[in-house]
Structure 1
Amino acid sequence: MAAGEQVVTKRGLSLHGLGVICGLAAGVWLGAAEAPTKLVNVGLSPFAVSLCMVAGVFTARWTFPTLLKGTGYVFEDLMEKKHLIVWALLAGALWAVANTLTVFAIRDVGLAVAFPLWNANSLIGLFWGRVLFRELEGANAKNIGKVVLGAVAIVIAAVMLGFSTIHGGTTQAHHAMSGILAAFGASLMWGTMYVPYRKAYLSGMNPLSFVTAFTVGELGTVLALTLALDGGLHSPSFQLFHHRGLVFWLFLGGFVWVVGDLFQQFAAKYLGIGRGIPLSNTNQLWGLAWGALVFGELAGADRQHKLLVLAGSAVMILGAMAIGTAVASSREQTSNNEAVLRECERYGLDYNRTLAAMAGDEFGGRDERRRWWDYVIVAAATLLFVWLGLRAVVPPLAMNLAWVAVLGALLVVSLAVGGWCLWRRTRFC
């Protein structure tokens, strides 16, 4: 890793620091992404909400890699590591199932409570990272303590938030339990989804290339779920596309999610899934902010309910931050390099080039020129959003617009800081 250390000195930002910045920026954007799915509370099918949101995700996921690197770079990267295409498709399928479950969870228990429940995915990701990729092998006692205590804190927080939703009559408790199960199901799917992430980055793949294949898996899975479980070709989900005033907001939710997920991908690359994912799960704080401040979800809650939600959120944040601040020791970095070597031997990759890619150093002189079709892709996606935006109507929901403006400004700031750090340190590699 000598070459990687030289780059750190020259550019003045460690890979750990970059990963932390990406993880925090991911939290801000992922927290905001679920706000448009509140539309499910005005009578829309959860499948319709998920399908429209994923359509927006599909549009944005092709746009950002094209804009930042060009399709020539992306497809060269994919063809160099063809075995990862299948893993990316699998990750997209898991994401799609999880995203659909989150819509059911929001419908039954609300955004402010559902978010912390499904953020137990960091515990699932930590488990897979340790078992499959030997993360934390060689870590010192202090780092192991941070990770273990952080994981326990996440479980305790999830239990606290789960019990905080079960109050009132039988019907209310029934709906709350359905929402809790949906949120934990999403947690399991998302936690397992990080396995393909880790395989991709141990093989040196650029996150921008990975998400290009990823999006095909997610769109295909959502279409399959809609056809199988929501009325086939006669599903009301397809009719929603005629209501352009609502479709824009769901497309926007998908767009916001893509920005957050790209930051999360870079965090997973530079910190590993055991650290990067818990750090990005600070999105629960931002989800709580959107749910409580913008939509007033906690306005009618009693004191005990609010205390449980706030205490559970605080405990989960502390647990995630404990994991995220456990900086890898030299012995642990050596173990990580051994994991890279295993992937290289398994798939016939060049070890030194892969290590350089993991350190954010470009290699191979890939062509990043923008061709005419790259500009067509970006222009088409932009025109689609503009066209839907011009026909958009304000959702029939009570919202605090002042808080929308404040939280929106924070989105812009986090994007600017995270994007600048990525460009300066790695040129989005």
Structure 2
Amino acid sequence: MPNTVTRAQTVSMHGLGVVCGLAAGVWLGGAEAPTKLVNVGISPFAVSLAMVLGVFVARWTLPTLLKGTDYVFSDLFTRPHLMVWAVLAGALWAVANTLTVFAIRDVGLAIAFPLWNANSLIGIFWGWLLFQEMRGAGFRVGSRVLGGALAIVAGAILLAFVTVQHTNTGHARAVHGILAALGASLLWGTMYVPYRKAYLSGMNPLSFVTVFTVGELGTMALLAVTFGGGVTHLHAELYMARHVVFWIFLGGFCWVIGDLFQQYATKYIGIGRGIPLSNTNQLWGLAWGALVFGELAHVSGEGRWLIVAGSLLMIAGAVFISSAAAPAREQASGRDAISRECERYGLSLEECVAAQLGARHGDGEKTKRPWWDVLIVAVAVTIFLWLGLQAEVPPLAMNTFWTISLCVVMAFAALGCGWLLWKRTRFE
């Protein structure tokens, strides 16, 4: 009987992971849109730093709202060895995020997105090598993953070719943009190793990202000061661009919402499936770039068809991979990976398995929050108001109808997936 229940729970969590991955795609696609502001004279380092500040605020505010700081710190100090991994993951994210800003500047949002989404391949490799994902999957499931991976590679190659042939930027600049996007792909694919390690150990994504943000903010500050002209220059640049900093800051906050959904997907269905599914953000990135910002206006008819074909090929590959649900033998390999982490760090196997199934949601719940939870949220609201009062409409040509429509889709995805997570796991 217990095995039957466990198998049913695993299938159920696969469905929840798929929904989280799709919601992540919507938000990750929309959150990158504000980085278009790099084309109005703001340096990539200033854009990335402003975005990371928004990420930092969000990574403290959202966990506080959803679970409370008492729960978060209790979860962290139960597994203190994971804090170093969280800082490392944050550092990788900061470098990758900076590379995406360069990629968007050089080749545009609609082109850069599918290139850095090749992180699916990196994630599949690390999941197989380090966490026994796909072990025991069998030919049917394995061929789906391999076929999807090949589709992603083919789509990336096609889009890279179209970029060089059909953009109005110089050849060298286009190549630099492609390399920046692929570099971000490598770093983001590797970044999920610490995440997966944390989730196998039973940690909540909300707890992990709280420490994660220390690594990303520290690394981004170091990059910005070192390569962005120093503290004085960055301060002057951000002050002069204060009328648009709010939108970049908001983009960072929105990115965290998508990233949290992505982490829940990674927790429940693994790296090899969770990342490709969240990489449907390519569809939403293409929608924002083409429909809102008109990025494809100067591309030839043939080039547009090739871009659409490449994008669809990558999306199809990601969906193909994510639809390959883990069979019983692969699930057993996953439990072996959990057992290995528990033995290494002296953790409870029962608790870690329960967390993997979203069944530990009663832990750490309190009816009354401490005063500092209210303070954290109040500070976040104050920062938003302060930046918002200085904001102006960005000097970019934007389609109002499509902007509103895509924002509605983002709200629907967040509310729908958030409700499912709360109902099924209480955000565990």
Interval of TM-score (by shorter of Structure 1 and Structure 2): over 0.9
Gaps of 5+ in 2: none
Shift of 1:27: 0.0
Equivalence map 1:230-309=2 (5 Å): 230-236=228-234, 239-241=237-239, 243-309=241-307
User: Partner residue of 2:308?
Assistant: 310
User: Partner residue of 1:138?
Assistant: 136
User: Partner residue of 2:54?
Assistant: 56
Shift of 1:26: 0.0
Q: Is the 8 A contact 1:353 1:363 kept in 2?
A: no
d(CA) in 1 for partners of 2:241 and 2:167?
Answer: 36
d(CA) in 1 for partners of 2:142 and 2:365?
Answer: 42
d(CA) in 1 for partners of 2:215 and 2:127?
Answer: 22
User: Partner residue of 2:387?
Assistant: 388
d(CA) in 2 for partners of 1:275 and 1:169?
Answer: 33
Shift of 1:417: 0.9
Q: Is the 8 A contact 2:266 2:275 kept in 1?
A: yes
Shift of 1:367: 4.6
Name the SS of the counterpart of 1:235 in structure 2.
helix
d(CA) in 2 for partners of 1:310 and 1:23?
Answer: 22
> When the two structures are superposed, what TM-score results if normalisation uses the length of structure 1?
0.96
- Alignment coverage as a number of residue pairs: 427
Q: Which amino acid aligns with 1:23?
A: G
d(CA) in 2 for partners of 1:92 and 1:293?
Answer: 32
Q: Is the 8 A contact 1:4 1:356 kept in 2?
A: no
Alignment pair present for 1:378 and 2:377:
yes
d(CA) in 2 for partners of 1:298 and 1:362?
Answer: 47
1:338 to 336, 343, 347: 336
Name the SS of the counterpart of 1:160 in structure 2.
helix
d(CA) in 2 for partners of 1:312 and 1:169?
Answer: 16
d(CA) in 1 for partners of 2:279 and 2:268?
Answer: 16
Q: Is the 8 A contact 2:113 2:282 kept in 1?
A: yes
C-alpha change, 1:228 and 1:327, in structure 2 (3 Å) is same
Shift of 1:233: 2.0
Q: Is the 8 A contact 2:83 2:211 kept in 1?
A: yes
C-alpha change, 1:264 and 1:148, in structure 2 (3 Å) is same
d(CA) in 1 for partners of 2:236 and 2:72?
Answer: 31
Shift of 1:242: 5.2
Q: Deviation per CA, 1:219-245: give whole Å up to 9, x if none.
A: 000000011111122333553045332
d(CA) in 2 for partners of 1:188 and 1:250?
Answer: 24
C-alpha change, 1:289 and 1:130, in structure 2 (3 Å) is same
2:119 to 95, 118, 121: 121
Alignment pair present for 1:190 and 2:159:
no
User: Partner residue of 2:71?
Assistant: 73
Q: Is the 8 A contact 1:49 1:237 kept in 2?
A: no
Shift of 1:391: 1.9
Alignment pair present for 1:5 and 2:5:
yes
Q: Is the 8 A contact 2:361 2:427 kept in 1?
A: no
Q: Which stretch of the first structure deviates more once superposed, 241-250 or 62-71? A: 241-250
User: Partner residue of 1:28?
Assistant: 26
Q: Is the 8 A contact 2:361 2:426 kept in 1?
A: no
Shift of 1:171: 6.5
Shift of 1:380: 1.1
Q: Is the 8 A contact 2:26 2:284 kept in 1?
A: yes
1:349 to 335, 340, 347: 347
d(CA) in 2 for partners of 1:254 and 1:170?
Answer: 29
d(CA) in 2 for partners of 1:113 and 1:170?
Answer: 13
C-alpha change, 1:134 and 1:392, in structure 2 (3 Å) is same
Q: Is the 8 A contact 2:107 2:169 kept in 1?
A: no
C-alpha change, 1:99 and 1:362, in structure 2 (3 Å) is same
User: Partner residue of 1:91?
Assistant: 89
Q: Is the 8 A contact 1:226 1:235 kept in 2?
A: no
Shift of 1:343: 0.6
Q: Which amino acid aligns with 2:2?
A: A
d(CA) in 2 for partners of 1:417 and 1:75?
Answer: 28
Q: Is the 8 A contact 2:42 2:241 kept in 1?
A: no
Q: What percentage of aligned pairs have identical amino acids?
A: 63
Name the SS of the counterpart of 2:170 in structure 1.
helix
Alignment pair present for 1:208 and 2:206:
yes
Shift of 1:142: 1.0
Shift of 1:370: 1.3
Q: Which stretch of the first structure deviates more once superposed, 369-378 or 160-169? A: 160-169
Shift of 1:362: 1.6
C-alpha change, 1:169 and 1:200, in structure 2 (3 Å) is closer
Shift of 1:170: 10
Name the SS of the counterpart of 1:349 in structure 2.
coil
